[in-house]
Structure 1
Amino acid sequence: MNLSKILQINGNKYPDREALVLGEQRLTYRQWNEQADHLAQHLQQRGIQRGDKVVLMMPNVPDFAILYFAVLRAGGVVVPINVQFSRDEVAYILEDCQAKGLVVHEGVFPAVAELAKMQSSRFYVKTGPPEGRWESLGDWKSSLTRGQADTFDPMTLTEEDEVDILYTSGTTGRPKGVRFSHGNLLTVGTMTAIEFEVNLESRILHMMPLSHSAPLHLMFISAVIVGASHVFYPSFAPDLFLRLVEQERVTHFFGAPVAYLLSMQEPAFHRTDLSSVKYWLYGGAPLSKTQADAIAEGFGKDKLVCVYGLTEAGPSGTLMHHRDHHEKSGSIGRRGALFTEVEIVDEEGQPCPVGQIGEIRLRGEGMMQGYLNRSKEMAQTLKNGWVYSGDLAFRDEDGFFWIVDRKKDVIITGGINVYPKEVEDALGSHPAVEEVAVVGLPHQTWGETVTAFVVPKPGKSPLDEEAWLKEIRCFLKGKIAEYKIPRRVKVLTELPRNTSGKILKHQLKENRTGSGSYA
Structure 2
Amino acid sequence: MNVSALLAANGRKFPNKPALIAGEDEVSFSLWDDMANHWACHLREQGVAFGDRVILMMPNCLEFAFMYIAVIRCGAIVVPINARSTQEEVRYICEHAQATALVVHEALVPSVNELVEENGKIVAIKTGKSQGEWVGTADWSLEEILSDKLAAHVIDPEANWATEDTEVSILYTSGTTGRPKGVLYTHRSLLTVAKMMSIEMGMTHLSRVLQLMPLSHSAPLHLFFIPALMLGATQVSALTFSPELLLSLVQKHKITHFFGAPVAYLLTMKHPAFSQFDLSSVECWIYGGAPLSKEMAEHMEQAYGRDKLACVYGLTEAGPTGTCLFHREHPDKVGSIGNRGVLFAEIEVVNESGEKTAAGEAGEIRVRGEGMMKSYYNNPEATSETLRDGWIYTGDIGRMDEDGFLWIVDRKKDVMITGGINVYPKEIELQLERHPAIQEVAVVGLPHPEWGETITAYVVLRPDTEGKNDWNQEIRDFLGGRLADYKLPRQVVVLPALPRNSSGKILKHSLRDTHSLQGVE
Q: Deviations over 1:281-326 (max 9, x none)?
A: 0000242111112112210110100000000000000000000111
Q: Residues 398-477 of structure 1 correspond to what in structure 2 (within 5 A)?
A: 398-409=403-414, 449=440
Q: Return the letter of the residue paired with 1:329.
A: V
Match of 1:162 in 2: 167
Displacement of 1:237 in angstroms is 0.5
Give the secondary structure class of the aligned counterpart of 1:184. Answer: helix
Contact 1:104–1:125 under 8 Å retained in 2: yes
Match of 2:44 in 1: 44
Q: Deviations over 1:219-260 (max 9, x none)?
A: 101111101001011111011110000001100000000000
**Structure 1 alignment gaps of length 5 or more:** 411-438, 454-494
Cα distance in 2 for partners of 1:250, 1:186 equals 23
Contact 2:443–2:458 under 8 Å retained in 1: no
Displacement of 1:129 in angstroms is 2.9
Q: Residues 232-311 of structure 1 correspond to what in structure 2 (within 5 A)?
A: 232-311=237-316
Contact 2:53–2:98 under 8 Å retained in 1: yes
Displacement of 1:504 in angstroms is 3.8
Cα distance in 1 for partners of 2:234, 2:46 equals 31
Confirm or deny that 1:7 pairs with 2:20: no
Match of 1:185 in 2: 190
Change beyond 3 A, Cα 1:452–1:290: closer
Change beyond 3 A, Cα 1:448–1:515: closer
Give the secondary structure class of the aligned counterpart of 1:175. Answer: coil
Q: Return the letter of the residue paired with 1:359.
A: E
Contact 2:443–2:457 under 8 Å retained in 1: no
Match of 1:73 in 2: 73
The 10-residue stretch of structure 1 (33-42 or 152-161) with the greater mean CA deviation from structure 2: 152-161
Change beyond 3 A, Cα 1:228–1:354: same
Cα distance in 2 for partners of 1:168, 1:443 equals 27
**Structure 2 alignment gaps of length 5 or more:** 416-428, 460-487, 498-521
Confirm or deny that 1:518 pairs with 2:520: no
Contact 1:359–1:392 under 8 Å retained in 2: yes
Alignment equivalent of 1:153, drawn from 138, 150, 155: 155
Q: Deviations over 1:30-68 (max 9, x none)?
A: 000000000000111112111101000000011101101
Cα distance in 2 for partners of 1:450, 1:90 equals 29
Contact 2:454–2:489 under 8 Å retained in 1: no
Displacement of 1:280 in angstroms is 0.5
Match of 2:86 in 1: 86
Match of 1:115 in 2: 115
Displacement of 1:131 in angstroms is 2.3
Cα distance in 1 for partners of 2:259, 2:447 equals 40
Cα distance in 2 for partners of 1:502, 1:186 equals 46
Displacement of 1:133 in angstroms is 0.3
Q: Deviations over 1:186-211 (max 9, x none)?
A: 00000000011111111110000000
Identity %: 48
Alignment equivalent of 2:335, drawn from 314, 330, 336: 330
Cα distance in 2 for partners of 1:289, 1:84 equals 32
Change beyond 3 A, Cα 1:311–1:269: same
The number of residues matched between the two structures is 450
Contact 1:52–1:77 under 8 Å retained in 2: yes
CA RMSD of aligned residues (A): 2.6
Alignment equivalent of 1:389, drawn from 389, 394, 415: 394
Cα distance in 2 for partners of 1:449, 1:85 equals 23
Q: Return the letter of the residue paired with 1:32.
A: W
Cα distance in 1 for partners of 2:74, 2:18 equals 25
Displacement of 1:397 in angstroms is 1.2
Give the secondary structure class of the aligned counterpart of 1:37. Answer: helix
Q: Return the letter of the residue paired with 1:210.
A: L
Q: Residues 471-490 of structure 1 correspond to what in structure 2 (within 5 A)?
A: none
Alignment equivalent of 1:215, drawn from 197, 200, 220: 220
Match of 1:31 in 2: 31
Give the secondary structure class of the aligned counterpart of 1:154. Answer: coil
Cα distance in 1 for partners of 2:443, 2:46 equals 45
Q: Could you tell me the TM-score, scaled by structure 2's length? A: 0.81
Q: Could you tell me the TM-score, scaled by structure 1's length? A: 0.82
Cα distance in 1 for partners of 2:489, 2:144 equals 61
Cα distance in 2 for partners of 1:124, 1:387 equals 35
Cα distance in 2 for partners of 1:296, 1:513 equals 37
Cα distance in 1 for partners of 2:492, 2:413 equals 26
Cα distance in 2 for partners of 1:305, 1:507 equals 31
Give the secondary structure class of the aligned counterpart of 2:447. Answer: coil
Change beyond 3 A, Cα 1:70–1:385: same
Confirm or deny that 1:497 pairs with 2:447: yes
Match of 1:134 in 2: 134
Cα distance in 2 for partners of 1:512, 1:67 equals 51
Cα distance in 2 for partners of 1:441, 1:51 equals 49
